[in-house]
Structure 1
């Protein structure tokens, strides 16, 4: 009897289907989605109402500014979604049956990374668009819907790179609390704190952190950074974290 070997492509497709099902059958995914929606749409609605009630309104601005501004705090809900897609398996011991189901660790890593990053990115873009609509509706007729194509690509890049960083760190640290703290430090705390010391070296270091790149692409208020340097910074951090996560999964015991 001849046993036909299953192709890598078919194994990858099956692994992606399993990861998709697993992601959407976990309650945490829906809680993170609800938190992101409440944060982004809520902030955009409040900003729109304040603009509409302003005694000195300035009409003509783009409502898509709400997509970028609300993505800055709202991204953390979806970054948490991406990292817990990894760390929850280590916390429950589910990583062992996961690798028994997909023993090719390269395929397993790629499928989990693709599903988590794509879901976080798509949800981020959708929530940013919803925030824009909320701002547009509540601030009528002060805002316009022009400029979406200038904002959404940067928003998508920030969510994609950020979720890749979070997922890669999840594979490296294998601990939810440690990964969350690391993500907050890299994406929020250190980029804000280091430049305040007035030290040239610390300012230089802050500009090389992914949070500075994300902040520049979303709100553009990071001295010393450009669009190119921001994109390169985010992509290098995303690639580096994914590489480290892949190496640890390949060379260390999965349940330690």
Structure 2
């Protein structure tokens, strides 16, 4: 009896299947749509509020650009999008579904790539679209300065913040394997500690706050605190790479439980 050689699928095919499964799971759970709704309300809502307050700003002779609406909105609305990313990573650990997932995709490196790519890109695309909507809304309401160059620059910075934040969320989620723990960690690193530590008036706390990923995000969106674009980029990329490295090692080496 002649044995028939079975050809295993190549890396692109396995990654494509894993990515398709991640996309199917992401778009068919209700929490994804609730997170997107929360992000839309926050980002566009802040844009509308800023537009209606523009008359007060205009009285001082400092009319803000329309792109400020999307940037301020994303500063807070990003957390709804990060919850979306975190749930895509951690839900299977809570339900126990991670075991069959690893059986169906035993090449964990490709599963990591798919799990990093699909939710992060989806959240980033949604955030950029919502920021643009907020910018256009502010422009229509208050006739704020609006130019293609400013919009492109603003949306590029928004995308950078969301990509780095999403990668950070994936890494922390894979490392902690807990939605609550990962959400608290990301929330502290991205928003609470960068604002809280300098408020104590202690120099070493202020210096520590400037090393957190949220400080880079704040600079990208609001132009604060005093640092360069290179320093802000290094914070975002460095923390994202560290989180993905630790979380990826956890996925590759630890048992499913």
Deviations 1:62-94 (A, max 9, x none): 211112111100110101111110111111111
Structure 2 residue aligned with 1:221 = 224
1:210 aligns with 2:213: yes
Residue 198 of structure 1: how far off its partner (Å): 2.2
**Counterpart position of 1:102:** 105
**1:144 shift after superposition:** 2.5
**1:238 lines up with 2:240 in the alignment:** yes
Residue 74 (str. 1) matches residue 77 (str. 2): yes
Structure 1 regions of 5+ residues with no counterpart? none
Q: How does 1:192-203 map to 2 (within 5 A)?
A: 192-203=195-206
Residues 227/210 of structure 1: CA separation in 2 closer, same or farther (3 Å cut): same
C-alpha displacement at 1:53, in angstroms? 7.2
Q: For residue 253 of structure 2, what is the aligned residue in structure 1?
A: 251
What's the CA shift string for 1:141-169, capped at 9, x where partnerless?
x4323411221111100000001001110
Figure out how many residues of one structure are paired with residues of the other and give that number. Answer: 253
Coordinate RMSD, CA, aligned: 1.6
* 2:136 is the counterpart of 1:127: no
CA 160–201 in structure 1, closer or farther in 2 if over 3 Å, else same? same
Q: Describe how 1:20-169 pairs up with structure 2 within 5 A.
A: 20-52=23-55, 56=59, 58=61, 61-140=64-143, 142-146=144-148, 147-169=150-172
Distance 1:70 1:203 in 2: 25
Residue 170 of structure 1, CA deviation: 0.3
In 1: Cα distance, 2:207 partner to 2:192 partner: 15
Q: Is the 8 A contact 1:61 1:144 kept in 2?
A: no
In 1, Cα distance between equivalents of 2:238 and 2:96: 31
Normalization by structure 1: what TM-score? 0.94
What is the alpha-carbon distance in structure 2 between the residues aligned to residue 247 and residue 144 of structure 1? 45
> Using the alignment, how far apart are the partners of 2:147 and 2:66 within structure 1?
6
Using the TM superposition, give the Cα deviation of residue 116 of structure 1 relative to its aligned residue in structure 2, in angstroms: 1.1
**Against the structure 1 CA distance between its residues 92 and 64, is the aligned structure 2 distance closer, same or farther, given a 3 Å change threshold?**
same
Name the structure 1 match of 2:15. 12
Tell me the CA shift for residue 50 of structure 1. 2.3
CA distance in 1, matches of 2:142, 2:215: 30
- Where in structure 2 are there 5+ consecutive unaligned residues? none
SS state at 2:38 partner: helix
Say if 2:185 is the partner of 1:185. Answer: no
Length-normalised TM-score, structure 2: 0.94
